[in-house]
């Protein structure tokens, strides 16, 4: 969280100074990352609470809710980037390629470090959501490096919005997948890896079971 927040301000400042949509988009994505990581931290703390008489299932769903919110934030971030990229394509602006490359390379290093920290911990929907943010942000930094190189070597101003669109599509895909997966949990759907017919057959085979009615299988977290 500290790594992401500190570098976000650097990337945003250089992005506005260099007029680079790729860097500004990456900084915006880092803002979403920071919010995602903060949300993940809070949700993880809440999920550890013991169950009570009022919350008999405990608080594990906090992780799923955080992941759902993060997925929605990713999708909204992608929409903003795509709209801005179309505007930049129609009206190309002068971009400082060297500043883009240096800043994006530093950002890539920060994202890789954050991803390694997240991968080293425990894994659930919540931490996977945070990791998805960081990895897609790393791709964004990589894209900004490519855009900066094209602007610097070939003076292709439209390379910046094109890379911005590519980043936006990747971010949107990550967000849609997260929303889809967490919605299944929140709607108490049968987990994909469980065959309901097989579960029913196993229960019916237990000695002493006469019949089985109205079977439900779902996940808490």
Mean pLDDT of 112-118: 85
User: For the segment 64-95, what is each residue's pLDDT rounded down to a tens digit?
Assistant: 888 888 888 878 888 887 887 887 788 776 77
Mean pLDDT of the chain: 82
Q: How many CB atoms lie within 10 A of CB 180?
A: 11
Q: With 90 as the cut, is the pLDDT of residue 199 above it?
A: yes
Exposure on the CB side of residue 139, measured as CA atoms within 13 A: 17
Dist CA 84 CA 185 (whole Å): 34
Residue 165 CA to residue 51 CA, distance in Å, equals 45
User: Does the pTM exceed 0.95?
Assistant: no
Backbone angles phi, psi at 217, to 5 degrees: -130, 125
Q: Looking at the predicted structure, is the pLDDT value of residue 203 above 90?
A: yes
**Structure tokens of 18?**
């260099």
Mean pLDDT of 113-125: 77
Average pLDDT over residues 105-117: 86
**Average of per-residue pLDDT across 184-209:** 93
Q: Is 16's pLDDT higher than 90?
A: no
pLDDT for 204 equals 94
- Please give the average per-residue pLDDT across 5-33, as a whole number: 78
């Amino acid at each position: 969280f500290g790594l992401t927040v500190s570098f976000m301000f650097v990337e945003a400042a250089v992005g506005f100074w260099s007029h680079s949509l790729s860097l500004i988009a990456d900084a915006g994505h880092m803002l979403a990352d920071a919010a995602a990581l903060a949300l993940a931290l809070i949700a993880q703390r809440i999920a550890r609470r013991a169950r009570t008489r009022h919350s008999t299932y405990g608080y594990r769903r906090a992780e799923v809710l955080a992941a759902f919110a993060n997925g929605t934030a990713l999708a909204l971030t992608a929409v903003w980037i795509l709209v801005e990229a179309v505007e930049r394509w129609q009206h190309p602006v002068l971009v400082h390629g060297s500043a883009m490359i240096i800043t994006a390379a530093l950002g890539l290093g920060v994202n890789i470090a954050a991803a390694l920290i997240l991968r080293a911990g425990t894994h659930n929907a919540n931490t996977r959501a945070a990791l998805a943010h960081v990895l897609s942000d790393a791709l964004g930094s990589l894209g900004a490096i490519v855009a900066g190189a094209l602007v610097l070597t070939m003076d292709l101003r439209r390379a910046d919005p094109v890379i911005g669109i590519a980043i936006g599509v990747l971010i949107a895909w990550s967000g849609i997948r997260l929303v889809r997966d967490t919605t299944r949990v929140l709607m108490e759907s049968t987990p994909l890896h469980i065959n309901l017919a097989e579960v029913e057959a196993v229960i019916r085979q237990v000695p002493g079971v006469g019949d089985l009615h109205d079977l439900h299988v779902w996940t808490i977290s």
